Structure 1
Amino acid sequence: MSLKRRDLLVLGGLSGLGLVAAGKTLSRSPEQVSGMPQTVSEPPKTAGKELMLRFVAVADSGAGDRNQFASANAMAGYHKKNPYSLVTLAGDNIYNSGEMERVGIAFEEPYAPLLKQEVRFRACLGNHDIRTENGDPQVRYANFNMNGRYYTYREKDVQFFVLDTNGNADWKDQMAWLNAELGRSTAPWKIVYGHHPIYSSGHYGTDAEMIRKFAPLFKQHQVQLYINGHEHHYERSTSIDGTTYLVTGIGGASL
Structure 2
Amino acid sequence: MRNVRHRNLVPVITTCSSDCIRAFVLQYMPNGSLENWLYKEESHLNLLQRVSIMLDVAVAIEYVHRGHNTTIVHCYLKPANVLFDEDMMAQVGDFGISKILAVSKSMAHTETLGTLGYIAPEYGSEGIVSTSGDIYSYGIMLMEVLAARRPTDEEIFNENLDLREWIRRAFPRIMMEVVDANLFPEEEQITSKSEICIASMVDLALDCTKKTPGSRITMKDVVKRLKKIKNGFLEA
TM-score, scaled to structure 2? 0.28
Higher strand proportion, which one? 1
If each structure's helix is expressed as a fraction of its own residues, which one has the higher value? 2
TM-score (norm. length: structure 1): 0.27
